[in-house]
Structures are given as structure tokens and as C-alpha cells.
Amino acid sequence: MGMGGVMKQARWVISESGLLHLTAAGMTIGWLRAWLCSAGADVVKVSLLESTEWLDEQDDWRIFFASELELESIASCFGEAAVYNRIALDNPPRSGCSIVEAGITNILLPLGDITYQRLHYLNIFCADALLKPLYIYADQVHPIKLEVGLSASFEATFPFLNAAGALIEEQVISSLRCHGLVLRTVESCTAGMIAARLCRVPGASDVIDRAWVTYTNRAKHEMVGVSLSELEQHGAVSEAVVRAMAKGALTAGVASIAVSGIAGPGGGSVDKPVGTVWIALALPDKAITCRALCLSGARHEIQAKSVVAALQLLLDELSEEKMFNEK
């Protein structure tokens, strides 16, 4: 509840150009809703700018995400009594603004990064108070649906990934920095999606070293040294091969993640149905850890769930490593 027990209703108003921008950035509406709730909203709705349905709604907060030309048109609708404040944003450098009129706080954000600079606008709503803890989980069972493979809640149940409403890629980058490690990925069925996701984060180059997309057996052999005999004996989707993939990328000061699986819709068998995925993680001076997954869904869902599972495995192992070192 907001101040005095009054319900706070917030709304994202996104133009068609804004939706295209979000898609290109890999950002979902689920995350945008969750972050507004963490700032104190009780209800968060989403409207398309072009629909104009939002004009008749009784919102307390509104965030407009659209092109500069579209935002200029919106800003011109406010009266002389409106209070304006500028918001400096980067990536790319640009200027947004907050406008308070008739008790409604409106934020106008031009196209660009709204993910990694979210505190710039969230703090306007919560008046620099602490954001509510937002617990992130590597599953789809909690009430706030974020994306394929991730959900959230304001109630803590163990184990959760983080309580800060942080994207999993932000958490991984931070954890690698804390451990003084750089990361290499060797990807088959995810086709570079792990590396691409991590490199969305500004400053990822501090800890992301390199990545291989080893889709064929030949690539696995030539690029990371998986033996042809292992590939022939066990098949590309197997513990032995994914373990060898991770080991082939490992060196001092490096963590390596390897993934191989069957994303479908074809290619499965009785022994290895579609959705069978193997993940391996290698850390310096530590035994390689492997996990087998039996996933369901469309091809893109299996790939997305595999990425989340791989990053979760890395976080789990780094967390255990920290606990061990602190004993």
C-alpha cells in the first residue's frame, strides 16, 4: 500500500517504437512491472501509447517510453501548472523528464537504456527511499512472471537468486568481479545466447573473455579439443562431451560454461528426447560440475531456460566457493 494505506496504481505507456526497442534490448514487460512494484506501486498496468486508453485511467504514476517526437507531443498536453524536472540518462546520452500535474507523477523516457539506469526513474517514485526487496527465482512458479525461466515474489522462500530485483546477468557479472574471474562460454544449442545475454550489461568486458559457438561435432573438436572418440561414443548431447567442452576452455583465472542439448522441434530420440540439455561448469582448481535438464516448450523456450540454468549453476558454484573460502 502507498502512503496512508492508499492503493498506488502505476502504468507503463509504451509506443510501438518503444516496444520494438524493448524487444531488441531483450527486455520484458514482466521486469518493468516488477520494478515499479518494488518502488511502491500496488498495481501496474501497461498500455500502448497509440491506444489512448490510458487517458481515461486514474493512475498515480505513469512512465512513457517512446521516441523523442512522441514524447514532445505528450509534454505539450500538460498545463502551465505542471512542474518539470529533467532526468539525465546515458546509453545513449539523452534527457528525459518528470512532470507532476494534478497529483499524477509522469516520467517521459526517450528511447535508450531503461534497464541498467532504472534507479534514475524509480527513485522519483519512492522519493529516494529503499526499494522493496524483490526476490528473483530461477523458475516460473512465483507470482510475478518476469520471463521464460525466471519469476519473482515479494515474499522470500529459499533458494532465491537475489533480493534486489537484479537481472540474472547483472548478478553474474557482479559475482565474477567479486571472485576475480573471467568467463568463457562454449555453446551448442544456445548458440551464443549466454555470452550475448551477459554482454548486455555495461562493463561486461571486465569479466567476459571469449565465447565459442560449437554447433557441429567438428567445431567441438577443432575449437575446444573434444576428442572425436568421445563424440562418437557418447554423442554431442552427453555428460562426457559437455564436460570436455568446459574443460577445453579452462585456464588459470577462468570460469567456463558449456552447454549442449536438443532444442527441437526435431532431432530427439527415445534416449534423448527434445528438451534434453547438458550443462557443465569448470572453475580453476575445482572438479567440473554437470547438470542434466529435461526441458519442455518451444525451441526458443528451451534455449532461454538453458541460458538461465547455466547462469544459475555458475552463481550456485560461486556462492559455494565463497562460503568455503570464508570458513
Q: What is the pLDDT of residues 57-73, one digit of tens each?
A: 999 999 999 999 999 99
Asked whether 65 and 33 are in contact (CB, 8 A), the reply is no
pLDDT of 309 above 60 = yes
Asked whether 293 and 309 are in contact (CB, 8 A), the reply is yes
Asked whether 290 and 243 are in contact (CB, 8 A), the reply is yes
Q: What is the pLDDT of residues 158-180, one digit of tens each?
A: 999 999 999 999 999 999 999 99
State pTM to two decimals.
0.94
* Amino acid sitting at position 142: H
Q: How far is CA 297 from the centre of its chain?
A: 19
Q: What is the pLDDT of residues 175-227, one digit of tens each?
A: 999 999 999 999 999 999 999 999 999 999 999 999 999 999 999 999 999 99
Cell triple for 125: 517514485
Tell me how long the chain is: 327
Report the 10 Å Cβ neighbour count for 225: 12
DSSP 201: S
CB-facing half-sphere around the CA of 163: CA atoms within 13 A: 9
Cis peptide before 92 (omega within 30 of 0): yes
DSSP 132: P
Band (pLDDT 50/70/90 cuts) for residue 4 is low
User: Please, what are the domains in the chain?
Assistant: 3-131 (3.40.980.10), 133-166 (no CATH), 168-326 (3.90.950.20)
Q: Exposure of 203 by Cβ count < 10 A (0-12 exposed, 13-18 middle, 19+ buried)? A: exposed
Q: How far is CA 171 from the centre of its chain?
A: 9
Q: What is the pLDDT of residues 250-281, one digit of tens each?
A: 999 999 999 999 999 999 999 999 999 999 99
Residue of 283, 219, 226 whose CA lies nearest to 254: 283
Asked whether 16 and 50 are in contact (CB, 8 A), the reply is yes
pLDDT of residue 323: 38
Share of the chain above pLDDT 90, in %: 94
Torsion angle (degrees, nearest 10) of CA 238, 243, 244, 249: 130
For the CA atoms of the chain, what is the radius of gyration? 22
pLDDT of residue 37: 97
- Rounded to the nearest 10 degrees, what angle do helices 239-249 and 217-224 cross at? 30
Asked whether 136 and 150 are in contact (CB, 8 A), the reply is yes
Asked whether 308 and 198 are in contact (CB, 8 A), the reply is no
Q: What is the pLDDT of residues 24-62, one digit of tens each?
A: 999 999 999 999 999 999 999 999 999 999 999 999 999
pLDDT of residue 129: 79
pLDDT of residue 327: 36
Band (pLDDT 50/70/90 cuts) for residue 3 is very low
Q: What is the pLDDT of residues 80-112, one digit of tens each?
A: 899 999 999 999 999 999 999 999 999 999 999
Report the 10 Å Cβ neighbour count for 195: 23
**Average pLDDT value for the chain:** 95
Band (pLDDT 50/70/90 cuts) for residue 6 is confident
pLDDT of 12 above 60 = yes
Task: For Cα atoms 184, 186, 190, give the angle at the middle one, nearest 5 degrees.
Answer: 120
Report the 10 Å Cβ neighbour count for 170: 19
Report the 10 Å Cβ neighbour count for 192: 15
Asked whether 198 and 208 are in contact (CB, 8 A), the reply is yes
Band (pLDDT 50/70/90 cuts) for residue 13 is very high
